[in-house]
Chain A
Amino acid sequence: MHAGTGMPGTPEDPTTSAPDADGTVVLGASDVARALTRIAHEIVERAKGAQDVVLLGIPTRGVTLAARLAERLAAIDPDFDPTRDVGELDVTMYRDDLRRQPTRAVGVTRLPAAGIEGKTVVLVDDVLYSGRTIRAALDAIGDLGRPRAVRLAALVDRGHRELPIRPDFVGKNLPTATSERVRVRLAEVDGEDAVLISGRSSGDAGEGRR
């Protein structure tokens, strides 16, 4: 509109950058698949069945992961419908860092038709880091209804929490330095399944923030 303007698009997300030759693969495709299968079993076990479970993916890769988990849940428990019981939760308008970032595009929030009232909501995200995204997600859920319980599933927990939040289901705990960068790549979005870590030797500016 005027000098220095810019409309929102997807802000540069460290996990979406092009493949980095320097990145070390810490999880390969089969590791990712195994982790998701394990998480699916844990969810069913913890909820004693999957009939009241609702998966809510947090964009972008959390949505993809939620869809994959849904297939696995359905395979374990036929009561779970992988199209009906999955949604996506955009937390942009609940973030506490809006004024520190370029304007973010507001994403879609889509809930199962039956809503989340009384359900066991499992939030699905790719990398768990500071916990601030999950804080925003909890606030967003609070405005959408009153689930019986909210759980958290993350493919990678890289530590460095800034809030009293911990995951219920983790694919892989990945001790990192804040200067390091963790990227989750998924076939649906990035053409391959992998978790990479980079910046291990050189002191990167703290990226991989979530």
Chain B
Amino acid sequence: MKHLLSTADLSRDEAIGVLDTAAQMAATQSREIKKLPTLRGRTVVNLFFEDSTRTRISFETAAKRLSADVINFSAKGSSVSKGESLKDTALTLHAMGADAVVVRHWASGAPAQLAHAGWLDAAILNAGDGTHMHPTQALLDAYTIRRHLAGPGAPRGGAGDEGVGADLAGIRVAIVGDVLHSRVARANVRLLHTLGAEVTLVSPPTLLPVGVHTWPCRTSYDLDATLAGWQPDAVMMLRVQRERMSGGSGAFFPSPLEYTRYFGLDARRLALLGDHAIVMHPGPMNRGLEISAEAADSDRAVIVEQVANGVAVRMAALYLLLSGTTEGISL
């Protein structure tokens, strides 16, 4: 594994390998001494062209738990007000000897360009690019789903501890909200499909992309019908960006109130789910908009656990990208 750019690049075995590695990483995180010497001497750069304190902290924690040196590089700038170019930034990081670059960027494809343009030879880890991909978020979501739903004694499970070795065959996941602009949704649809889960995207028609019919999932405009009729095992609520509602004639839905009425997860909708079903959210939440406080704080919600699992999954990704020889890896 040279880069982690998109969940579409992961085979089933590779994806399970990441989740299994994450499980071992998670096991080390319950110890008194959480730090491992594994990546001593390696340098991980967090290159953030877009603010995301929680993602940066998660990666930073993961890298430090593996004893890597961490450099945080905030390179803010938009397509309108360009700062230093991506290329110059990449050349700078190359000169600094970065072994891995964790990239968060407003532009879809920027991590792929860093990986392939020949500007630097570090491993590139996509920490969210535009409206394209957020692979570690999808991996931590899959990890969380597997822990709860594919482990021993789980309703659909039967695999080893914490679901190690298992895929997500037959598990039903509803992803609800702004799919059009969501890298989390795109990353999850690919990964969950690869792992054998069934996915339904629930969204107002304005927030589903043209072309979604080719995705390996179902789509629905009706949250109630999906929850009651399809009985998902996991419900993943997507964050609704406030600016999507205020575009005047270009707004994607009439009002926050109407959005909540049709697509918000509340106690009533929660009651439509099976007892085992879990509620997920990539954060940060808009309480009262896409998710009510009752739903967010219910014992079904695994939202806080997702954060903890994020560190383990990112440790796994960093380990897999940085531990082996850099060329000619084969099994």
A interface with B by C-beta (< 8 Å): 1-9, 11, 90, 93-94, 98-109, 139, 143-144
Interface residues as binary, B235-277 with A (CB distance below 8 Å gives 1, 0 otherwise): 0000000000000000000000000000000000000000000
Cα distance, A107 to B24, chains bound together (Å): 7
With A1-B10, A106-B25 as known contacts, state yes or no: A8 contacts B331, CB within 8 Å: yes
A105 to B14, CA, bound (A): 11
Which listed residue, B2, B20, B24, B38, touches A5 by the CB 8 Å rule? B2
Please give the distance in Å from B330's CB to the nearest CB on chain A: 5
Min CB–CB distance A16 → chain B (angstroms): 13
Q: Which residues from chain A contact B24 at a C-beta distance below 8 Å?
A: 90, 106-109
* Chain A min CB distance to B291 (Å): 33
User: How many residues on the B side are at the interface (Cβ–Cβ under 8 A)?
Assistant: 39
**Which of chain B's residues 182-227 have a Cβ closer than 8 Å to chain A?**
none
On chain A, the residues within 8 Å of B327 by CB distance are 4
User: A143 is contacted by which of B1, B5, B31 (Cβ under 8 Å)?
Assistant: B31
**Residues in B lying within 8 Å of A, measured CB to CB:** 1-5, 9-11, 13-14, 17-18, 20-21, 24-25, 27-28, 31, 33, 35-38, 66, 115, 164, 316, 319-320, 323-331
Chief secondary structure at chain A's binding surface: loop
Instruction: Provide the main secondary structure of the chain B interface.
Output: loop
On whether the beta carbons of B21 and A93 are closer than 8 Å, the reply is: no
The answer for the CA separation of A9 and B323 in the assembled complex, in Å, is 13
* Contact yes or no, B331 A2, CB < 8 A: no
Residues of B close to A6: CB separation below 8 A? 1, 329-331
Chain A nearest CB: distance from B3 CB in Å? Answer: 6
Among A2, A8, A94, A109, the residue within 8 A (CB) of B21 is A8
24 pairs, CB–CB < 8 Å, chain A vs chain B: A1-B3, A1-B5, A2-B5, A2-B115, A5-B1, A5-B2, A5-B329, A9-B331, A93-B28, A93-B37, A93-B38, A93-B319, A94-B37, A99-B323, A99-B326, A102-B325, A102-B331, A103-B324, A106-B319, A107-B24, A109-B24, A109-B28, A139-B37, A143-B31
Chain B residues contacting A9 (CB-CB under 8 Å) are 17, 331
Q: Which 8 A-B pairs have the closest CB atoms?
A: A103-B324, A7-B17, A93-B38, A7-B14, A106-B24, A6-B329, A1-B9, A98-B323
B329–A105 touching, CB < 8 Å: no
B residues less than 8 Å from A5 (CB atoms): 1-2, 14, 329
Q: How far is the CA of A90 from the CA of B164 in the complex (A)?
A: 16
Per the bound structure, the CA–CA distance linking A93 and B17 in Å amounts to 16
Q: Which residues of A contact B331 (CB under 8 A)?
A: 6-9, 11, 102
CB of A181, distance to nearest CB on chain B (Å): 20
Most buried by A among B13, B36, B323, B326: B323
B17→A1 contact, CB < 8 A: no
Residues in B neighbouring A1, C-beta threshold 8 A: 1-5, 9-10, 14
